Amino acid sequence: MSLLLGQTVPDFTQDSTQGPISFHDWIGDSWCVLFSHPADFTPVCTTELGAVAALKDEWEKRNVKVIALSVDPVNEHNAWVSDIEETQGTGVWYPMLADQDHKVADLYGMIHPDAAANVTVRSVFVIDPDKKLRLSLTYPPATGRNFREILRAIDSLQLTDSHKVATPADWQDGDDVIIVPSLKDEDEIARRFPKGYKAVRPYLRVTPQPNKS
């Protein structure tokens, strides 16, 4: 199955290191990052799970729940958690789904045709509180994911959901943003962006981030 941005993500119930999880209910009113791994006890993913755990305050600040997945069973996940905590110096406080029957992997297209049948690719799915897919990424096995980039993208998604702006290349929270081209009414622009804007081109209007003082 190929998931498209804006679609409602599939619901499922699956076992995890924190007991059975009914996915949509578990997300609740939060944002969610679901990220998959080829297998337990793999080196790159060990560092990734530690990196995600170390960012606990950052996920919570953005109302984001995180959840990992591989096709290994819960008992192997629990053994791996001990390795992660020892080698990465942080507790794994979020659940890890055990997808032995490939139910979730098949629903979310995590097993590619040229990969081994029991190896999930290293995907990331960012899901909003309406259970809509807002961003997806797939990485090759040897390249570790940058979860601060995932946080940056979530900052952009949350900002652009609440204001009529877009974020430019390499934007970081607090940087200037772009007024969306569809906003034409100058009175509305003045009301929404009281700090004013710079028109680099008629279609490229730069303004200070509106939710920052």
Q: Per-residue DSSP letters for 191-210?
A: HH-TT--EEEETTEEEE--T
DSSP secondary structure code for residue 185 in this structure: -
Start-end of H helices in the chain: 23-27, 43-54, 56-61, 74-88, 103-107, 147-162, 186-192
> Rounded CA gap, 59 and 106, in Å?
27
156: CB partners within 8 A, 6+ apart:
167, 171
Verify whether residue 32 is a known catalytic residue: no
Out of 9, 27, 45, 179, the active site residue is 45
End-to-end CA distance of the chain: 44
Name the token pair of 89.
Answer: 């110096």
Q: Which amino acid is at 177?
A: V
- Residues with a known catalytic role: 45
